[in-house]
A and B are shown apart, each in its own frame.
Chain A
Amino acid sequence: MCAQCLTLFALNSSLECFPNSVANYIDLAPMPDNYFVRYLPLLIHFLVAVGFASVVVTLSWLIGYRRPSRAKMSPYECGMTPIGDTQSRFSVKFYLVGMLFILFDVEAVFLYPWAVILRKLKMFGFWEMFVYIAIFLVGFFYIWKKGALDWAAPSAKRGEV
């Protein structure tokens, strides 16, 4: 099958020399070998969705009346009247807060693997995470004292990031 001929030959040939004892650590769910059969329902679903949508749109275009009026042409016919341009400028403060958000958000990534083996790590794991959070708090203290979180502060004080 085409799937087989696409597989890189280098990988297949070097697989034998690797001990497969590590395979025991991950349980692979049994999956049907045939890639196409497994995803066939998804394909059918996709085709039905596309077909239905295009039929509905085409029919309404064919048999519907078109009588445009000012209210109908506005972006939100039964909502607020839009004000101004969508391309207006953001304050640079948004970028600052956005950047800080990314950093403190990603920190949480490491909490997941830690939480999985917390019981095995016992108290050591607890204190290790304590140190980790403390290091983050150093950063937090720094941005806080530098005034980066101060929304209304004059930009001169915020130390130009």
Chain B
Amino acid sequence: MVPLSYYLILSGILFACGVTGFLIKRNIITIFMSIELMLNGVNLSFVAFAAQWHALSGQIFVFFVMVVAAAEAAVGLAIIIAVYRTRETLNVDQVNLLKL
């Protein structure tokens, strides 16, 4: 059986990739994909822990994370399209009416 730590390390790497992508990417869609990557890392660790504890609630959690991620994706794409309509760009460096 694959040891739990392998799953945890993989999920940690996925999460870290997501965080890094979020911080260094410049295209809104790519940033959004990085967030999805983070969520997938989380899902993996949920499933791994659920198997470890023999508790189903971890797997149920993954269902809900997936559904919520889909809802978030839909809303997110709508917002991104709204930005594109007003600014004609998806580069965060040019979406800069508000100073950060």
Contacts and interface: CB of A to CB of B under 8 A. Distances in A.
Direct contact of A and B (CB under 8 A): yes
Contacts of A78: none
B74 A110 contact: no
B33 to A, nearest CB: 14
Interface of A is mostly: helix
A35 B2 contact: yes
Interface stretch (A51-59, A66-74, A96-104): A96-104
Interface residues of A, number: 31
Given A92-B81, A106-B66, A106-B67, 17 more contacts: A7-B3, A7-B4, A8-B8, A11-B52, A18-B53, A20-B54, A22-B53, A23-B54, A26-B54, A35-B1, A95-B77, A102-B70, A102-B73, A103-B71, A105-B70, A109-B67, A161-B78
Nearest to A4: B3
B30 to A, nearest CB: 16
Contact of A95 (B4, B5, B56, B81): B81
Interface of B is mostly: helix
Given A6-B9, A22-B53, A35-B2, A109 B66 contact: yes
Contacts of A11: 4, 52
Interface in B1-57: 1-6, 8-9, 52-56
Interface of A: 3-4, 6-8, 11, 18, 20, 22-23, 25-26, 28, 31, 33, 35, 92, 95, 98-100, 102-103, 105-107, 109-110, 113, 160-161
A25 B77 contact: no
B77 A22 contact: no
Contacts of A18: 53
Contacts of B5: 3, 6-8
Contacts of B6: 3, 6
